[in-house]
Amino acid sequence: MPPRRKEAAGAGAGIAATFNTPIGGVLFATELMMPEISVDTFLPVVLATGTATFIGRLFFGEEAAFQVPAQLGAIPSQLSSVLTLALYAVLGALTGVAAAALIRTLHWAEDAFDRMPNRYLRHASGMLLVGVLMYVLWRNAGHYYVEGVGYASIQATLYGQLQGGAFLLLLAVSKLFATSVSLGSGSSGGVFSPSLFIGAMLGAAIASLISAAVPGAPISAPAFAMVGMGAMVGGGTGAAMTAVAMIFEMTRDYDIVLPMIIAVAVSLGVRRLLSAESIYTLKLRRRGHAIPNALHANMFLVQEAGQVMETDVLVLDRATPFREILPRSEGLSFRHVVVTRDDRIFGVLRINIGLRRAVNQAESDITLAELAQRNFIVVTQHEIAFRVISRLWKQNAAMAVVVERDDPDSPVRVLGVIAKEHVADSVASSIRIFPGKH
C-alpha cells in the first residue's frame, strides 16, 4: 500500500477509535489526507476506520463521547426560527474569527520560541507560562480548566453547569493561549481537542452574552456550545463535512445538524477571509510545500485512449529507408512513426531534429527497422487513460500504439499513438473545467 494511503487510513482509524466516530474518521481522512478519491484509496480507509471503531468499542464501550440533554438543539419548523438560525450564523462568523486567531497565534508562538537557541530552555519556558496560567485559574476559579483535553469542562458546559459569558470567554482565550504556547514551545499534541474546548466555551459565552443583552432570545447556551465545537473544528481545519459529522456522532443529537451546517459554513468562510491557510496547511506552506486548494478528480484518467492519442502519425513498413520520410517531416519539431512488418506492428519511432541530423551524417541506406524502438505497448481506442499510463510505466514503454481493435488474426489498423507529451497535454486540458486561476 502506498504511504499516503497508509497515513490516511491510520489517521481516520485513530480519529474513529478515539471519539467513537466512524463516519467522522472516514471524512477526516477523505477531506484532509487523500489527494484523490477512488476505490483503491477509499477502501483501505473505510476498512481501517471500521476495524478501529469496533476494537475501540470493545475496550471503551459504545457510548457517545459527550452526553447531551434530549432535544437540546431542536428548532421548530416555523418562520420565527429564522432568527435562531441567524444567531447560529453569527456564532459561525465569530468562531471563524477565533479559528483564524488560533492559527495565527499558534504560528506566532512557534516563531517566538524558535528564536531561543536551546530547545530545552524553549520547552521549559513554554511550560512555565502554561503552569502559571493554570495556577491563576485554580486560585481564582477553583479549577485548572485548561489542562489536558478538557472534556470534563466541555461536558459541564453541555449540561449548563459552567455559566457566565465573561468567564466562558476567558476560558476560551486561556485555552487558545495554552495550546499555542504548548505546541509552539515543542510539546507533542494536536489541535483537534483544543478546538472542541475553545468552540464549546466560545459558543456558550456568546449565547450567554446574547441572552443577557436580549432577554428571552430563542437560544440555548448548551446548544450554542455544541454548535461552536463543530464551527471551531470546521473553521480551523478546513474540514467542514468532518466537523458536522463528528459532532453529530459525538453527541448523537440529530437536531443539531441543521444549525451546525450553517455555523460551520460561515465559520469556514470567515476564517478563509482572514487566513487563507488552515491550521494544518499554514506550516507546510511556510516550508515551501505545495498544497492543493481542493480535492480534484483526475478527469483525464477516465478518458479513453482515443481521446488522448495523437492522430498525426505515419504507418510505414520496416524496410522503408529513413531518408524517404524526411521530406514529410520538414518544419515539424517531431513526428511519430509506427513501423510495421507484414501488417503487424514491429516498433515505434519518434522523429526529431536530432535524429534527422544524425541520419543525415550517416549512411543513406538506414531503414526504419534499424531505428525503431521495440519498447511499445498496443492498446485499443476504448481503453481508459489510467490503464494506458499504468502499462506504460510498468513496462517502461516509450509509446502506446492505439489500434481499432487488438485482433491477432487480422491486419492491424493504427489510429494513433500516446506518448508522454500527449499525457501532459491531456492533464492540462482537463483542469480547465475547474474554477480558479490557471
Q: Where in the chain is the domain with CATH 3.10.580.10?
A: 299-432
Long-range contacts of 35-40 (CB under 8 A, 24+ apart): 35/4, 35/292, 35/295, 36/295, 36/296, 36/297, 36/298, 37/295, 37/297, 40/5
pLDDT at 153: 93
Asked if pLDDT for residue 438 goes beyond 60, the answer is no
Closest CA to 258 of 89, 23, 21: 89
Segment (H or E) for 227? helix 221-237
pLDDT in tens, 315-368: 888 888 877 776 655 555 457 888 898 888 998 888 765 566 556 555 557 888
User: What is the residue-averaged pLDDT of the chain?
Assistant: 84
Instruction: Classify domain 299-432 at the CATH class level.
Output: alpha beta
Asked if pLDDT for residue 312 goes beyond 70, the answer is yes
Who has greater pLDDT, 30 or 353? 30
Backbone angles phi, psi at 370, to 5 degrees: -80, -25
Closest CA to 341 of 363, 371, 322, 315: 315
Closest CA to 87 of 194, 183, 216: 216
Backbone angles phi, psi at 409, to 5 degrees: -95, -5
- Look up residue 312 and give its amino acid: D
Rounded to whole angstroms, how far apart are CA atoms 248 and 92? 17
Length of the chain: 438
pLDDT at 32: 83
pLDDT at 353: 56
Torsion-angle region of residue 42: left (phi > 0), alpha (psi -120 to 50) or beta? alpha
Identity of the highest mean pLDDT range in 88-97, 186-195, 387-396: 88-97
Burial 421-437 (b: 16+ CB within 10 A, else e): ebbeebeeebeeeeeee
Q: Where in the chain is the domain with CATH 1.10.3080.10?
A: 69-286
Identity of the highest mean pLDDT range in 32-41, 47-56, 74-83: 47-56
Asked if pLDDT for residue 295 goes beyond 60, the answer is no
Asked if pLDDT for residue 433 goes beyond 50, the answer is no
CATH assignment of 69-286? 1.10.3080.10
Integer angstrom CA distances of residue 391 from 340, 346, 397, 427: 21, 18, 8, 18
pLDDT in tens, 244-294: 999 999 988 888 899 999 999 999 999 999 998 888 877 666 665 555 555
**DSSP 8-state code for residue 256:** G
Report the relative pairing of strands 344-352 and 334-341 from DSSP bridges.
Answer: antiparallel
The pLDDT > 70 percentage for the chain reads 84
Enter the C-alpha cell of residue 407: 485482433
Rounded to whole angstroms, how far apart are CA atoms 96 and 103? 11
| Rg for the chain, CA atoms, rounded | 31
pLDDT at 36: 67
Asked if pLDDT for residue 91 goes beyond 90, the answer is yes
**DSSP 8-state code for residue 378:** E
pLDDT at 302: 63
